Amino acid sequence: MSISIPRGTQDILPGEVEKWQLIEKNARELCERFQYKEIRTPIFEHTDLFLRSVGDTTDIVQKEMYTFEDRGGRSVTLRPEGTAAVVRSFVEQKMFGNANQPVKLYYMGPMFRYERPQAGRFRQFVQFGVEALGSADPAIDAEVIALAMSLYQSLGLKKLKLVINSLGDKESRNAHREALINHFQPRIDEFCSDCRSRLEKNPMRILDCKKDRDHELMKDAPSILQYLNEDSKTYFENLQSYLTDLGIPFEVDPNLVRGLDYYNHTAFEIMSDAEGFGAITTLCGGGRYNGLVEEIGGPETPGIGFALSIERFIAALNAENIELPVNASVDCYLVSLGEEAKKYNVRLLHALRLAGFSAEMDYLNRKIKAQFKAADRLNAKYVAVLGDDELKENKINVKSMETGEQTQYSLDQFIEKFKASLI
């Protein structure tokens, strides 16, 4: 019996992988310009890290983590997201003491959530994310949002919607929390068991419940924006004016909650507005998490970041019918006619590659016509034909596949001449 790929995962094959590489390249280049440096953390962490950061009442922690005991009896978890590990590393590596502040980091890599697979929802997916730690300036919130928007736009996405909200500071959240409890308590029996247990622990999560979203009480639930204190209000207004200054359109949605517990003040999501995009329209999510560094054992440090998945990025590109410029080609394909010529070509091929060209030759002992076909399939720019006779005369024939023009070079000067003709 053959073995198939696990549900919710995918193989990314040549032809498709070039799109991934282009997105990753653009992300790295943007981070360089925005001055975010790459951090690489382990794929698994102690389970406690996620309980403490993502929050033990969230779906991620309650239902979606790949948690197991290692052979030493420790509970470890495949990372469901990147922020917790970055903050853990920030504390452990004492980055709060770095001369350069704020500390601006980015990461790219696989995350794991045991979710019900569907379009845009995988059990293993790749996140690109950034985290800026050490600044409580709303200008950096705007910078983080601008980076995400710029990445999408750099590859031609147009149908984007940025939605922002403020979750306020602790005081505002406590006031909101109380209002939510008062609102839901009298009829909490009509809600699902998850919501019933959320009422005391984390009533804001009720607003994000997928099962009870149509309940009558949801519509007029108290909005966090009514409970923002002066500081939180000012912070949110400043963010909005920075976004306006940067020319980034946005909508305020007081019901934007986010599925992780560490947020306060700014919360945002970027959605695809493209027609035909599946039910899950969120491409990117992020927000501010002042207090998380202390929670993980570090000194008081504000932070903000976002993460987006490459899977949904590509789905959005498809929905907008955007073809990425990823047509691969080969600079030179070597065709061999005869044993001696083939032997020579093995060395010539290696020399071409070392000289910086992409080059290929036939390894299936094909006839000349089939070798040309193979060159075509690889989208070769030039085909160099070497026969045993040419070899004796120190010559090689080169054909431009674009113009059909043929040139004869002296074999020992071939690479030099080829270099010059390609420039």
Which position among 312, 314, 348, 391 is part of the footprint of ligand HAM (CB under 6 A)?
312
How far apart are the C-alpha atoms of 107 and 325, rounded to whole Å? Answer: 24
Give the E-state strand segments of 113-215 in sequence order. Answer: 124-133, 160-166
How far apart are the C-alpha atoms of 344 and 336, rounded to whole Å? Answer: 9
Per CB under 6 A, 166 contacts ligand HAM? no
Per CB under 6 A, 222 contacts ligand HAM? no
How far apart are the C-alpha atoms of 393 and 26, rounded to whole Å? Answer: 48
How far apart are the C-alpha atoms of 389 and 378, rounded to whole Å? Answer: 27
Nearest approach, Cβ of residue 269 and ligand HAM (Å): 7
CA distances from 136 to 52, 164, 174, 239, 289 (A): 22, 17, 20, 11, 10
Per CB under 6 A, 308 contacts ligand HAM? yes
- Alpha-carbon Rg for the chain in angstroms: 28
Smaller CB separation from ligand HAM, 260 or 317: 260
Q: Which stretch binds ligand HAM (CB under 6 A): 37-45, 101-109, 135-143, 304-312?
A: 304-312
Total Cβ atoms within 10 A of residue 126: 18
How far apart are the C-alpha atoms of 386 and 362, rounded to whole Å? Answer: 12
Tell me the DSSP string of 195-258.
Answer: HHHHHHH-GGGGGG-SSSTT-HHHHTPPPGGGG--HHHHHHHHHHHHHHHHTT---EE-TT---
Which position among 115, 194, 331, 360 is part of the footprint of ligand HAM (CB under 6 A)?
115
Nearest approach, Cβ of residue 155 and ligand HAM (Å): 15
Smaller CB separation from ligand HAM, 135 or 282: 282
Per CB under 6 A, 134 contacts ligand HAM? no
Type of residue numbered 370: A
Smaller CB separation from ligand HAM, 102 or 287: 287
Per CB under 6 A, 52 contacts ligand HAM? no
What residue number has its CB nearest to ligand HAM? 305
Q: Which stretch binds ligand HAM (CB under 6 A): 237-245, 302-310, 364-372, 384-392?
A: 302-310
- Whether cis (ω within 30° of 0) applies to the bond prior to 80 is no
DSSP letter assigned to residue 5: P
Per CB under 6 A, 112 contacts ligand HAM? no
Q: Which stretch binds ligand HAM (CB under 6 A): 13-21, 35-43, 44-52, 115-123?
A: 115-123
Which position among 102, 203, 222, 287 is part of the footprint of ligand HAM (CB under 6 A)?
287
Per CB under 6 A, 131 contacts ligand HAM? yes
Per CB under 6 A, 282 contacts ligand HAM? yes
Which position among 129, 222, 302, 387 is part of the footprint of ligand HAM (CB under 6 A)?
129
How far apart are the C-alpha atoms of 110 and 224, rounded to whole Å? Answer: 33
Which residues contact ligand HAM (rule: CB under 6 A)?
A: 81-83, 113, 115, 120-122, 125, 127, 129, 131, 259-260, 282-287, 289, 305-309, 311-312
